[in-house]
């Protein structure tokens, strides 16, 4: 992988936003589409359905990070983008407020488009509101843990200068979190919204979405606290040592570098 931040090339803001939209769309298409396929191929075995869904998501996420990371940082996740912006306030690295305002709607819009695309590929109604209710304290705790762990992985790799392994590490963590969390690790507000648009294996009832997102945001904050406790507070020098960075556009701060380049599902 070529670290675009060190190559001197920059991606225009519109290109970075497009990458976040396309990446989020394809990520949700992978999650929802593989869930529908799993239900079709293994209708009597929920465990096998989850395994099939998890495997597809792990490979899909890893590939998307590798391909789109040099363009936008491959966040695909509002929690990751918010954390990147928060971390960069003092260092001058990471997303600016203007970048953030463009990334978030692109991620959510892309996620919804991905669910609609997956529904269409399997001859289902373009929009079919999910009926699967996921409203329970243990599920919210699962989302908190999954998201905190994701932020720790993403920013921990950046602080230690190992973002070259981020595609495998982040995808691997999400694959594990599918199984060790009670919620099956949504860990992404945009993806959570998108999955509400498909009444399929990966779906979540719209009424369950707000609590999931609240748990994810809290988990993201806890993840940042863990990063600070384990790796110290960010400095400009540390930020500039990131191996993979989202390229800075003309509207960003001078020569910024993100501390990470990844997202989740």
Residue 176 belongs to a domain with what CATH number? Answer: 1.20.1080.10
User: Is 1 a member of any domain?
Assistant: no
pLDDT (0 to 100) of residue 195: 98
CA distance 163 to 44: 40
User: Is 123 a member of any domain?
Assistant: yes
User: Is 68 a member of any domain?
Assistant: yes
Q: Can you read off the two tokens belonging to residue 176?
A: 């594990």
Give one DSSP letter per residue of 93-152, joined into a string: -S--HHHHHHHHHHHHHHHHHHHHHHHHHTT--S----------HHHHHHHHHHHHHHHH
Q: What are the residues whose beta carbons fall under 8 Å from the beta carbon of 185, sequence distance 6 or more?
A: 142, 143, 146, 174, 177, 178, 264, 265
Asked if residues 195 and 206 have their Cβ atoms less than 8 Å apart, the reply is no
Dihedral (C-alpha) 250, 156, 60, 34: value to the nearest 10 degrees?
-120
User: Is 52 a member of any domain?
Assistant: yes
User: Is 121 a member of any domain?
Assistant: yes
Domain that holds residue 130: 11-239
pLDDT (0 to 100) of residue 179: 98
User: Is 259 a member of any domain?
Assistant: no
User: Is 245 a member of any domain?
Assistant: no
Low-confidence ranges of the chain (pLDDT < 70): 1-10, 235-265
Domain count, the chain: 1
The model's pLDDT over 209-240, given as tens digits with 9 standing for 90+, comes to: 999 999 999 999 999 999 999 998 776 544 33
pLDDT (0 to 100) of residue 232: 87
Burial of 132 (0-12, 13-18, 19+ CB in 10 A): middle
User: Is 113 a member of any domain?
Assistant: yes
**pTM for the whole structure:** 0.85
């Amino acid at each position: 992988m070529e670290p675009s931040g060190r190559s001197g090339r920059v991606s225009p803001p519109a290109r970075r936003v497009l990458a976040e939209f396309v990446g989020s769309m394809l990520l949700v298409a992978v999650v929802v589409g593989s869930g529908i396929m799993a239900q079709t191929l293994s209708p009597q075995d929920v465990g096998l359905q989850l395994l099939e869904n998890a495997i597809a998501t792990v490979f899909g996420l890893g590939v998307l990070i590798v391909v789109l990371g040099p363009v936008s940082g491959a966040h695909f996740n509002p929690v990751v983008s918010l954390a990147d912006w928060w971390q960069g306030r003092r260092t001058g690295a990471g997303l600016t407020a203007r970048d953030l305002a463009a990334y978030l709607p692109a991620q959510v819009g892309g996620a919804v488009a991905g669910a609609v695309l997956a529904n269409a590929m399997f001859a289902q109604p373009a929009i079919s509101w999910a009926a699967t209710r996921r409203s329970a304290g243990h599920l919210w705790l699962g989302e908190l843990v999954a998201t905190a762990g994701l932020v720790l992985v993403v920013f921990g790799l950046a602080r230690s200068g190992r973002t070259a392994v981020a595609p495998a590490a982040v995808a691997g963590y999400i694959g594990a979190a599918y199984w060790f969390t009670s919620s099956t690790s949504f860990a992404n507000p945009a993806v959570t919204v998108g999955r509400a648009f498909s009444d399929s294996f990966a779906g979540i009832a719209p009424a369950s979405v707000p609590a999931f997102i609240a748990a994810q945001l809290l988990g993201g904050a806890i993840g940042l606290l863990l990063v600070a406790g384990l790796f110290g507070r960010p400095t400009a020098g540390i930020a500039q040592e990131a191996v993979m960075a989202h390229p800075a556009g003309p509207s960003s701060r001078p020569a910024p570098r993100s501390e990470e380049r990844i997202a989740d599902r």
